[in-house]
Chains A and B, each alone.
Chain A
Amino acid sequence: MTDTLTGPAGQHAEQTPEYPMARADRCPFDPPPALSGLQDQGPLTKVRIWDGSTPWMVTRYADQRALLVDPRVSADTRHENFPHQSESLKARREMGRTFINMDDPEHARLRRMVTGPFAIKRVETMRPAIQRIVDDLIDGMLAGPKPADLVQAFALPVPSMVICELLGVPYEDHDFFQTRSRVLISRKSATDVVLTAQREVIDYLDELVGRKLAEPADDLLSKLAAEQVATGELTRRELANMGFLLLVAGHETTANMIALGTLALLENPDQLAILRESRDPKLIAGAVEELLRYLHIVHSARRRVALEDIEVGGQTIRAGEAIMLPGEIANRDAEVFTDPDRLDVTRDARRHVAFGFGPHQCLGQPLARVELQVVYSTLYRRIPTLKLATDVDRVPFKHDGLVYGVYELPVSW
């Protein structure tokens, strides 16, 4: 096999960097240097992904935001040039389709069915319940053996219990959907394993929606079953797909922010001390924004296709070309954030794009924020001696994940 011309204008294969890139040793919180380096080279460059295709990489904060809100850009994964994250994600592009992979107006119609429960004031009413969940889990961890794995004992159960309560999914079934969601967010999972995992969770939710139709409870799936399925706006399967999106999205992201965030704070003890000693909700909220900016755990680039020719930084993305927008380097753009590679919990980081931008910006962000505010304001105050129970170099990082974080975090106190 020989390298042939694959990019436009005779761009040679060997000149096009491969994506994803490797992170540097001893810099587990920073984006890969080769990825950050693209930002210095210019606003727009090509990278080569797993299937040999060469999508555009948009490197800067301002351009990423402008494109993510641009109606000439599509999130539809069925487009023939869509830059899929892996073979298995390409294989399941038709399965479990939800608004996350649709464009307006279809996207807006479906998304608006579920935005009400995630409104700021509605989510705020969940804060006492979230505080109770966090306190109980800390009690349990303190009563158990040392060292403990913070991921299993705390970081994963917090969002899992919260999203189960909101949706009305029985938490007793958490092993079932947690093992499957772990498969789904690994870049390395085999295609048939991924397809099976997704089908099993959707089947489970489909059956659960059936039960909610028959015996409604005070939860989101019951509400959507009554308002959308019973009225014919959605099929049962469509609601199961939507439930799948909320369940999986609600798990791994927040869990990784809790565990990786804690590790980042343990490695920056001056910053941890600020959080531990503060009783100011504004400072805590600001620290959450800064950790979201700094870690931007979705390390897989947002992906789109141009529907028309679009100018970016003096170059043209042609209609039909694929676009990748890695938010982790947008959040480190020195044009926007001073000294961007420094974790500073007192800075104003609210402009970050950790939740994305544009119509597809994370639906669950108000819930994630409250969960993280409760966690960061409680965990280090209640366990002031919390420490890493291994060497940081021995922590297993999720280098193969679509969502970055740690598989385990042994801690003691």
Chain B
Amino acid sequence: MRVTVDQDKCVGSGQCVLAAERVFDQRDEDGIVVLLDAEPSADQHDDVRQAALVCPALAIELAE
């Protein structure tokens, strides 16, 4: 799985951090997404899919 995020689209809701905190974080100043791991291990995949599903800005793209 390869993860990409679009920081311009991101609205800083933090839903991705709630779903998969080992893969996503937020910038201190404005809460915009920071990708911690672009190729997460298999045990993270369900959480990452959940993050992409609930992102209100559709700012997370997955290539599987």
A contact residues vs B (CB 8 Å cutoff)? 68-69, 108, 111-113, 115-116, 118-121, 350-351, 355-359, 361-363, 365-366, 369
Q: In the complex, which of the residues B11, B26, B50, B58 contacts A121, with contact meaning CB atoms closer than 8 Å?
A: B26
Contact code string B26-46 (vs A, CB < 8 Å = 1, else 0) = 111111100000000000000
CA distance A37 to B26 in the complex (A): 41
Residues in B neighbouring A113, C-beta threshold 8 A: 30
A356 and B18 within 8 A (CB): no
Q: In the bound complex, how far is the Cα of B29 from the Cα of A355, in angstroms? A: 23
22 A-B residue pairs with Cβ-Cβ distance under 8 Å, sorted by A, are A108-B11, A111-B11, A112-B32, A115-B11, A116-B12, A116-B27, A116-B31, A118-B14, A119-B12, A119-B14, A120-B18, A120-B26, A121-B17, A350-B19, A355-B56, A356-B56, A358-B56, A359-B56, A361-B56, A363-B13, A365-B13, A366-B14
B31 contacts A119, C-beta separation under 8 Å: yes
Asked whether, in the complex, the Cβ of A69 is within 8 Å of the Cβ of B56, the reply is: yes
Instruction: Name the contact of A361 in the complex, choosing from B13, B21, B26, B29 (C-beta under 8 A).
Output: B13
Given the known interface contacts A69-B57, A350-B19, the answer about A361 and B11 at a Cβ–Cβ threshold of 8 Å is yes
List chain B positions with a Cβ less than 8 A from chain A.
11-14, 17-19, 21, 25-32, 50, 53-54, 56-58
In the complex formed, the residue of B with least CB distance to A66 is: B58
Q: Are B50 and A120 in contact (CB under 8 A)?
A: no
Residues of chain A lying within 8 A (CB to CB) of residue B18 = 120, 366, 369
Give the CA-CA distance A118 to B11 in the complex, in Å: 11
A359 to B57, CA, bound (A): 6
Q: Is A115's CB under 8 angstroms from B50's CB? A: no
A175 CB, min distance to chain B CBs, angstroms: 32
Q: Are A119's CB and B28's CB within 8 A?
A: yes
Q: Which residues of B contact A363 (CB under 8 A)?
A: 13
How distant is the Cα of A112 from the Cα of B9 in the complex, in angstroms? 12
